[in-house]
Chain A
Amino acid sequence: DIQLTQSPSSLSASVGDRITITCRTSQSVAASLNWFQYKPGKAPELLIYTASTLQDGVPTRFSGSGSGTEFTLTITSVHPDDFAIYFCQQSHSTPLTFGGGTKVEIK
């Protein structure tokens, strides 16, 4: 199984900050890496697919980059609604696997 390691596991940020979350995979997944936002009690939401494609309706302050084994999710200017858990997921091979999540909290 492909292991996904996210860093950091949590971070504190202020509204307006730029934040970057990293996802490293144990073997190459080419560009088959996706990012989700999760607020407990609600449905996870797809933000970015195939490493860098913004899902319809997702604000452009979210962006993704990377290929192979290292990927990043960037929020250019954090909004109050962005405080949540973010996780990566690979679709390169089965079983589909997920990163451990990054909790973004208000500083």
Chain B
Amino acid sequence: VQLVESGGAVVQPGRSLRLSCAASGFTFNFHGMHWVRQAPGKGLEWVAALSADGTKGNYADSVKGRLTISRDNSQKKLHLEMNSLRPEDTAMYHCAKWSSMAGTFDYWGPGTLVTVSS
């Protein structure tokens, strides 16, 4: 199993960014997928989740209405569309595969860094 994030960058407040996560080594369309972030010096924060078929999404209150999770099962990719970015969105963003058996994230990517600063 491999998850590789991309798309992180330095952006100004209010701007947009799209993160992607390329998945391999497992049947992508069988598993829910999540984004989890870690701000500098802080703990991990769950951001968003999307069902295996892409029809059911859930968001942390802190990002609701600004971040949108999506997936392309034909390309085995997970995305996070980030709009109206704020300095507090500065973090390393990890995608993570959900295991129904374990009831948690069984594989993660190494992350991609988003910095929101003027």
Q: Is B88 an interface residue (CB 8 A)?
A: no
Give chain B nearest CB distance to A44 CB in angstroms. Answer: 5
Measured between beta carbons, the chain A residues less than 8 angstroms from B111 are: 43
A49 and B102 in contact, given A87-B43, A98-B44, A101-B43 (Cβ under 8 angstroms): yes
Q: Report yes or no: A43 in contact with B43, Cβ–Cβ below 8 A.
A: no
Whether A99 lies near B102 (C-beta < 8 A) is no
Is B77 in the interface zone, CB < 8 Å from A?
A: no
The A-B contact count (CB < 8 A) is: 57
Q: When the two chains form the complex, which single residue of A34, A42, A97, A100 contacts B102, counting CB atoms closer than 8 Å?
A: A34
| In the assembled complex, A25 has its CB within 8 A of some CB on chain B | no
Q: Is the CB–CB distance between B60 and A41 below 8 Å?
A: no
**Cβ–Cβ contact A34 & B104, under 8 A:** yes
Give the residue name and chain of the B residue nearest to A56 (CB). B106
- Chain A residue nearest to B60 (CB atoms) is A95
Asked if B71 lies at the interface with its beta carbon under 8 angstroms from chain A, I say no
Chain A stretch 55-72: residues in CB contact (< 8 A) with chain B: 55
Asked if B19 is at the interface of the complex by the 8 Å CB criterion, the answer is no
Question: Given the complex of chains A and B, what is the CA–CA distance between A89 and B106 in angstroms?
Answer: 12
Q: Is A32 an interface residue (CB 8 A)?
A: yes
Q: Which residues of A contact B34 (CB under 8 A)?
A: 96
Min CB gap A3→B, angstroms: 11
Indicate if the CB atoms of B43 and A46 lie closer than 8 Å. Answer: no
Residues of A within 8 A of B (CB): 32, 34, 36, 41-46, 49-50, 53, 55, 87, 89, 91, 94-101
